[in-house]
A = this chain, B = another copy of it.
Amino acid sequence: MGSGSSFEKMRQSLQQFAALGESDWLLIKQQLEPRSFKKGDLFVKEGQLCTSIGFLNSGIARVYYLADGKEITSYFNAGNRNMFVCSFSSFLSRKPSFENVHFLEDSELLLLSYNGLQELYEKSPAIQKLGRLMAEYNYVLSMERIYSLQHLPAIERYHAMLKTYPGLMNQVPHHYIASYLGITPESLSRIRKEAARKEK
């Protein structure tokens, strides 16, 4: 489980968006800084600028913010999904984050700084293209999320969540998931009860 394999994992993940030549990959790799976090650690804190993006190799991250004194979960990121984690709105717009990012399990990341990423974009059109494709992909995903929030009842959002994050119900406190679904923990409990009843 050396860091070699963790880099490779990230490379695979990027390749899903666009072919990435050896030289481009080396450029990226040079900018990566491996870092470990303990369960409960904060990666991004509300009010601070999010200056780097992290590829989540293992562990579970949760992005949330406070509204009316309540924690609202924006999204989760589990290592098996092999994606990036940060406060995207802060990172992309260069404004202080309104979100917190913390880890629900010990996690390993490959960090890429904002400045490092901009350098990569300037140096390599292929990486710039990769960035565009990933942004477009996330945009399409978020449109799907808008659809589901607007027109699917909570129970269907629950089932969609089970597909998106398999196993998550057993890994993290349920009230985090409830706030991700846009419902109260009590409602989630009722929904689970109802779903379990239908199973039989």
The main secondary structure of chain A at its interface with chain B is: helix
Chain B binder among A27-35, A133-141, A158-166: A133-141
Annotate A115-137 by CB proximity to B: 1 below 8 A, 0 otherwise.
Answer: 00000010001001101100111
Copies of this chain, complex-wide, total 2
130-158 of chain A: CB within 8 A of chain B? 131-132, 135-140, 142-147, 149-151
A125 CB contacts on chain B under 8 angstroms:
125, 128
Please, how many angstroms separate the alpha-carbon atoms of A129 and B121 in the complex? 8
Q: Can you list the 10 inter-chain pairs with the closest CB atoms, starting with the nearest? A: A135-B135, A132-B132, A150-B182, A142-B142, A139-B139, A135-B136, A125-B125, A149-B149, A92-B136, A131-B132
